Amino acid sequence: AQSVTQLDSHVSVSEGTPVLLRCNYSSSYSPSLFWYVQHPNKGLQLLLKYTSAATLVKGINGFEAEFKKSETSFHLTKPSAHMSDAAEYFCVVNSNSGYALNFGKGTSLLVTP
Amino acid sequence: DAGVIQSPRHEVTEMGQEVTLRCKPISGHNSLFWYRQTMMRGLELLIYFNNNVPIDDSGMPEDRFSAKMPNASFSTLKIQPSEPRDSAVYFCASSPLQTMNTEAFFGQGTRLTVV
């Protein structure tokens, strides 16, 4: 079955420092991978997605993620954190059926001044 | 585009009452999903519709839950009777294509509290 594991439930960074949110996936075939962000009391917004076109994927708000098949990873990074980045981040993989999305447990990002 | 619209945003009800959550997907999208988010279980898919037809309802917890999509622009999720353990945030999402690479677009969610 397709699944993802988010390695950290909470990450805290200082404003202006780099962000790294880790995600490993399990897939029996080439997956489609996504990162979604959820701000407090808001819906989920797509940050970026990997669809095998390029291993380094650029998303919105300066985020990017690199697909590494050898490590079965899809970590999310940003060079410099902003206060507005504080939110819950979800790593997501398409399910075996193809139409549904399997969500990780989420990583809560805290950005301190 | 207004995005996926859910109503109500918040619902507080007493145990045993019927609850109906509503969703308007993005126009032109042919796939619709209902997800539930809880602290314990994270985000779970409840049911998936394609072209208004339920394709997979294996995630629906039990018979108390039912979902309908009478037309391409409207869907409901009903809980009858409601129980405190149903308290969660319920998200509706829609998608334009049924492919492996297509993301889903989420509504703001309905926060349900059953007391």
Q: Does B5 touch chain A (CB under 8 A)?
A: no
> What pLDDT score does B10 carry?
96
DSSP B33-77: EEEEEETTTEEEEEEEEETTEEEE-TT--STTEEEEEEETTEEEE
Residues 89-108 of B with CB under 8 A from A: 91, 93, 95, 98-101, 103-108
Distance from CA of A54 to the nearest CA of B (A): 13
> What pLDDT score does B27 carry?
94
Q: Does B107 sit within 8 Å of A34, measured CB to CB?
A: no
Residue type, B27: S
Asked if A113 and A15 count as a contact pair (C-beta separation under 8 A), the reply is yes
Distance from CA of A105 to the nearest CA of B (A): 6
CA-CA distance, A23 to A6, in Å (whole number)? 5
Q: Does A42 sit within 8 Å of B108, measured CB to CB?
A: yes
Candidates A43, A51, A99; nearest CB to B106: A43
Q: For residue A92, give the chain B residue with the closest CA.
A: B103
pLDDT in tens, chain B (115 residues): 689 999 999 999 999 999 999 999 999 999 999 999 999 999 999 999 999 999 999 999 889 999 999 999 999 999 999 999 999 999 999 998 666 678 899 999 999 999 9
Residue type, B49: F
CA-CA distance, B96 to B3, in Å (whole number)? 12
Degrees, nearest 5: CA angle A52-A5-A79 = 65
Tokens linked to A48: 């970026």
Q: For residue B48, give the chain A residue with the closest CA.
A: A100
pLDDT in tens, chain A (113 residues): 788 999 999 999 999 999 999 999 998 777 889 999 999 888 899 999 998 778 899 999 999 999 999 999 999 999 999 999 999 999 999 877 777 788 999 999 999 99
Degrees, nearest 5: CA angle B40-B41-B46 = 140
Q: Does B45 sit within 8 Å of A101, measured CB to CB?
A: yes
> What pLDDT score does B115 carry?
97
Residue A85 main-chain phi, psi, to 5 deg: -80, -10
